[in-house]
Amino acid sequence: MFTKSVAWYDAVYSWKNYEREAHRLRLLMDQHARRPITTLLDVACGTGQHITHLKPHYTVEGLDLDLAMLNLARRRHPDVTFHQGDMRAFDLGRRFDAVTCLFASVAYCRSTVELAQTVGCMAKHVNPGGLVIVEPFLGPEQFKPGYLGAIFVDRPDLKIARIHTSSVSGQAAAILFHYLVGTPDGVEHFTERHEMTMFTRDEYLVALEAAGLRAARDDEGLMGRGLYIGVRPSPDAAGGRPVD
């Protein structure tokens, strides 16, 4: 997804308050979990920025499809285990107390079938009483076709202008990013096209429930987009049965 821009990813998203988001996430996990949260898997972990603020509190691991992203995460956290894998179909052979998928990464699923595969895979990696937490992309009613956005980075040795335009076809949003990157070695221009699915509230809840999770939504979430929380029932929960 960020094949061309991975070297500049952290600079472009330096506006994002990962520390505050991790704190908010911890509060929500304490509120919803039915077991102590001591282990956590961050799916689509990117360069490991959330993990920076989660690992003082949990034993964390990360998973991502992009090897370049993982290499950055591994350099940042040599003490953390990272796995290369597809969020739609991974098997680590163990379970965690919480599995997260943050910053709209789940929207790279291209259909409700792939959404269900991803949530189901996450659910299989969660202990009874534990949590699956999914941060959504914008919904169809929130996304503005033709929206023109820009992010600028102004450092002594790095200048970046990222400008994007967008289009919509059904529930698919296509975002075209134009990068202008300046370093002491010169100026480079390149583009990246990202296709993301604008799943509805009901589609997220259905995917969680189909995976055998008790689903809820926190309307504020980590950055105002909401958050979907699935609790895996414990064996002794009334009417509950662990996910196979």
pLDDT in tens, 82-118: 999 999 999 999 999 999 999 999 999 999 999 999 9
Pick 213 or 242 by higher pLDDT. Answer: 213
C-alpha 215/C-alpha 133 separation (Å) is 10
CB–CB of 160/153 below 8 Å?
yes
Query: Looking at this protein, which amino acid is placed at residue 138?
Result: L
CB–CB of 240/35 below 8 Å?
no
**Mean pLDDT computed over 192-203:** 97
Residue 237: the pLDDT is 56
Place 190 in a pLDDT band, splitting at 50, 70 and 90. Answer: very high
Domains of the chain as residue ranges with CATH? 6-139+198-231 (3.40.50.150), 149-197 (2.20.130.10)
Q: Is 15 left (phi over 0), alpha (psi -120 to 50) or beta?
A: alpha
C-alpha 234/C-alpha 34 separation (Å) is 8
Asked if the model's pLDDT at residue 13 lies above 80, the reply is yes
Residue 243: the pLDDT is 44
DSSP 179: E
Residues pairing with 214 in the sheet: 231
Percent of the chain with pLDDT over 90: 91
CB–CB of 160/181 below 8 Å?
yes
pLDDT digits (tens, 9 = 90+) for 14-48: 999 999 999 999 999 999 999 999 999 999 999 99
Residue 96 tokens, joined: 């965690």
C-alpha 110/C-alpha 112 separation (Å) is 7
Residue 242: the pLDDT is 44
pLDDT digits (tens, 9 = 90+) for 155-182: 999 999 999 999 999 999 999 999 999 9
Mean pLDDT score of the chain, rounded to an integer? Answer: 95
**Mean pLDDT computed over 1-11:** 94
Burial string for 60-76 (b: 16+ CB within 10 Å, else e) reads bbbbbbbeebbebbbee
Asked if the model's pLDDT at residue 236 lies above 70, the reply is no
The pTM of this model reads: 0.94
